[in-house]
Amino acid sequence: MKLLEDPTSCKVKTELKAALSKRSWEEIVFCGFGEPFMNLDTLLEIGGWLRKRSPQQIRVNTNGHGFLIHPTRNLLMELKNAGVEKFSVSLNAPDKTLYNKVCHPVFENAFENTLKFIESTRDAGFAVDVTAVAIPEIRMLEVEKLVHSLEVTFRPRQYIPNFW
């Protein structure tokens, strides 16, 4: 999906009303080509709106940089209050060096903060699964071992080359 601009909350709600009325969805996921926490206030508004209207689980797909993006906010409490129940965190590497090489984070301590985010969401009672894309540079067994040491679920993801 390629958008020329971010949709407004009102536009998203209109689209969601139509989609929710057509069938029963298993879960609702905030994700996309970008980090959902970059538009946190919209996520919180729509999540809270959904929680009042829909029984589906709300999940956020993230790179786990939420604490770095919003260092002064009580992020997990705000997300819990908005109805978020689950996170899928893209880790993609078993160590900082490979993480920086593969993910190109804008934050200095992104790898360590992603691990902190995973542990904090787990400890706060959210369901958490951690993913890694199976690209040649990734040592999937090492990522899986790290994820299991964090006591969350590991979900490998297939690499799909760009199609545009």
Q: Which tens digit of pLDDT belongs to each residue from 11-37?
A: 999 999 988 888 888 899 999 767 999
pLDDT at 164 (0 to 100): 61
pLDDT of residue 87: 98
* CA dihedral angle for residue 45, residue 49, residue 54, residue 58, rounded to 10 degrees: 10
Specify whether the CB–CB gap between 105 and 111 falls below 8 A: yes
| Tokens encoding 33 | 């080509």
User: What does the alpha-carbon distance between residue 73 and residue 85 come to, in Å, rounded to a whole number?
Assistant: 18
Q: What is the pTM of this model?
A: 0.91
Which one, of 105, 93, 104, 100, lies nearest residue 137 by Cα?
93
The residue among 3, 70, 19, 68 whose CA lies nearest residue 43 is 70
CA-CA-CA-CA dihedral for 49, 51, 55, 61, to nearest 10: 100
pLDDT tens-place string over residues 32-43: 767 999 999 999
Residue 65 is predicted with a pLDDT of 97
Architecture of domain 38-157: Alpha-Beta Barrel (3.20)
Segments making up each domain of the chain, as ranges: 38-157
Contacts of 97 (CB under 8 A, 6+ apart): none
Strand 57-62, strand 153-157: pairing: unpaired
pLDDT of 42-86, one tens digit each?
999 999 999 998 889 999 999 999 999 999 999 999 999 999 999
Q: Alpha helix (H) ranges present in the chain?
A: 9-22, 40-53, 66-69, 75-81, 96-103, 110-123, 140-149
Contact 118, 67 (CB under 8 A): no
d(CA 49, CA 45): 6
Summarised one tens digit per residue, pLDDT across range 117-155 is 999 999 999 999 999 999 988 889 999 999 999 999 999
